[in-house]
């Protein structure tokens, strides 16, 4: 484990990485499902916070393993077994999502997160032993991650004892999250790791597809639930428009030259990588919003048309804006121009008001139309 070449030709995701991603499909499905149920019942204030916290744990664990693998993937027996340990941690975390969302019980989520991070600490210690040039960086990573895992356990213990409650727990989470984000810049000040820009860009694109897949599943599940009441035109409009919307968002993401930008501006990779928390969280929230929109169109009328429309419009607008924001640091001239991204974001936020009188289907169709127009303008500009 001496570090792979940063210019290795034809570097692509491995079969093990794709298998690793499958466990995150389960975790993301769990968090999207809980968010959708809470939003459908009108409890947005109660479920958004847990969603953002649990999704941070999912995203951060996935991201840390991805960047490590880009630098040190040996694909030998110890590496595979430690990857298996992290996959088990993902599944434990996924099992704890309902308790975290409904009861504020983060024990299973925390234990699952610790399992994932423990496997990564061992990998960094192995890199420290076998890669003399990168030893100091690897030790810093292992020490930083290990220390923070102890602090997460302390936070959980204080919660169990009733010392931390309510806002204090949220502040504690925010402080530890910021500390987690600080570990990579601190560790790589010693010596940057040999991550591969094209490999990283591909891995992020694949994670985006996983999140979009959850939206497809949400639409499909919602349709299956409401078919018993009879298929109507509005439901067809919501489902069709939702599919067009997802395709347009994927197209916009795919147009950005992430790999080339990471190749020429490696020092700004943190801004790009960290910015994707918002991009990915928006896609996950969109899946929940589309599920609610389908249910609202069908047999379950628990929210007003305007509120339902904004459950689709807000995450879409956030994705459009953050897509440009996250790529701006690494791309001299973004393919999706800021005028297009921000303009489309503003129009999407107006769609629920414009289409409220015509129903949820009209709102989703307007949002999809704006996203498709953004694709058309961007492609036409070359």
Residues in Cβ contact with 200 at an 8 Å cutoff, skipping those fewer than 6 apart: 66, 67, 70, 259, 262, 269, 273
Q: Is pLDDT above 80 for 302?
A: no
Residues 371 and 310 in one domain: yes
Strand residues in 261-344 grouped as ranges (E): none
- Examine residue 68 and state whether it is found in any structural domain, yes or no: yes
Please tell me whether residues 210 and 356 are part of one structural domain.
yes
Sign of CA dihedral 164, 167, 173, 179: negative
Q: Is residue 55 part of a domain?
A: yes
Residue 350, pLDDT above cutoff 70: yes
Say whether both 208 and 66 belong to one domain.
no
pLDDT higher than 90, residue 37: no
Kindly state whether residues 272 and 128 are assigned to the same domain: no
pLDDT at 300: 55
If asked whether residues 305 and 233 sit together in one domain, one would say yes
CA–CA dist 337, 68 (Å, integer): 32
Q: Residue 1 falls within a domain, yes or no?
A: no
Query: How much of the chain exceeds pLDDT 90, in percent?
Result: 68
What's the confidence (pLDDT) of residue 1?
86
- Does 276 lie in the same domain as 161? no
- Same domain, yes or no: 202 and 317: yes
Going by pLDDT thresholds of 50, 70 and 90, the confidence category of residue 332 is confident
For residue 364, give the nearest of 207, 210, 222, 253 by alpha carbon. 222
Residue 339, judged by CB atoms within 10 A of its CB (0-12, 13-18, 19+), counts as exposed
Given 137, 155, 187, which residue is the final one in a domain?
187
Mean pLDDT of the region 272-289:
95
Q: Which of 327-331, 332-336, 342-346 has the lowest mean pLDDT?
A: 332-336
pLDDT at 228: 65
pLDDT of residue 237: 85
Is the domain of 297 the same as that of 338?
A: yes
d(CA 256, CA 220): 29
Q: Is residue 75 part of a domain?
A: yes
Q: Which of 169, 187, 205 is the last residue of a domain?
A: 187
pLDDT, tens digit (0-9, with 9 covering 90-100), for 137-158? 999 999 999 999 999 999 888 8
Other C-beta atoms closer than 10 Å to the C-beta of 19 total 13
31 with 116, same domain: the answer is yes
Residue 223 has pLDDT above 80, yes or no: no
Spatial separation of the C-alpha atoms in residues 291 and 115, rounded to whole Å: 31
309 and 333 together in one domain: yes
Token reading at 139 = 């030790």
Q: Which of 187, 209, 238 is the C-terminal boundary of a domain?
A: 187
What does the alpha-carbon distance between residue 90 and residue 26 come to, in Å, rounded to a whole number?
Answer: 8
pLDDT computed for residue 215 by the predictor: 82
- Which has more confidence, 279 or 47? 279
Among residues 144, 209, 228, the alpha carbon closest in space to that of 179 is found at 144
Query: Which domain does 107 fall in, by range?
Result: 15-187
Residues 156 and 178 in one domain: yes
State how many domains the chain has.
Answer: 2
pLDDT of residue 299 exceeding 70:
no
pLDDT at position 222, please? 62
| Tens of pLDDT, residues 14-26 | 999 999 999 999 9
Same domain, 150 and 218: no
């Amino acid at each position: 484990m001496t570090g792979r070449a940063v210019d290795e030709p034809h570097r692509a995701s491995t079969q093990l990485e794709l298998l690793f991603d499958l466990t995150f499909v389960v975790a993301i499905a769990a968090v999207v499902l809980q968010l959708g149920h809470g939003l459908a019942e009108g409890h947005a204030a109660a479920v958004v916070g847990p969603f953002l916290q649990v999704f941070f744990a999912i995203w951060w664990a996935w991201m840390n393993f991805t960047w490590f693998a880009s630098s040190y993937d040996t694909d030998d027996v110890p590496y595979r077994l430690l990857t298996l340990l992290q996959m088990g941690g993902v599944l434990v975390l996924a099992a704890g999502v309902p308790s975290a969302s409904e009861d504020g019980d983060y024990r299973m989520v925390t234990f699952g997160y610790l399992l994932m991070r423990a496997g990564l600490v061992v990998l960094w210690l192995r890199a420290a032993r076998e890669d003399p040039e990168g030893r100091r960086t690897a030790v810093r990573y292992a020490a930083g991650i290990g220390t923070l895992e102890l602090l997460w356990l302390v936070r959980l213990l204080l919660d169990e004892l009733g010392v931390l409650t309510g806002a204090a727990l949220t502040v504690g989470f925010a402080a530890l999250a910021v500390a987690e984000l600080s570990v990579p810049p601190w560790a790589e000040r010693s010596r940057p790791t040999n991550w591969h820009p094209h490999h990283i860009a591909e891995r992020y694109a694949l994670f985006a597809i996983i999140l979009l897949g959850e939206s497809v599943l949400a639409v499909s599940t919602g349709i299956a639930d409401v078919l018993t009441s009879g298929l109507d035109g509005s439901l067809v409009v919501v489902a069709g428009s939702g599919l067009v919307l997802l395709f347009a968002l994927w197209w916009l993401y795919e147009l950005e030259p992430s790999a080339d930008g990471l190749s020429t501006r490696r020092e700004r990779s943190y801004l790009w990588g960290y910015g994707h928390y918002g991009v990915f969280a928006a896609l996950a929230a969109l899946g929940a919003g589309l599920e609610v929109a389908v249910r609202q169109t069908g047999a379950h009328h628990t929210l007003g048309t305007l509120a339902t429309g904004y459950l689709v419009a807000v995450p879409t607008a956030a994705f459009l804006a953050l897509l440009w924001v996250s790529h701006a640091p690494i791309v001299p001239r973004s393919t999706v121009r800021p005028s297009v991204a921000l303009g489309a974001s503003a129009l999407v936020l107006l769609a629920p008001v414009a289409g409220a009188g015509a129903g949820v289907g009209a709102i989703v169709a307007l949002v999809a139309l704006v996203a498709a127009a953004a694709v058309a303008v961007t492609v036409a500009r070359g």
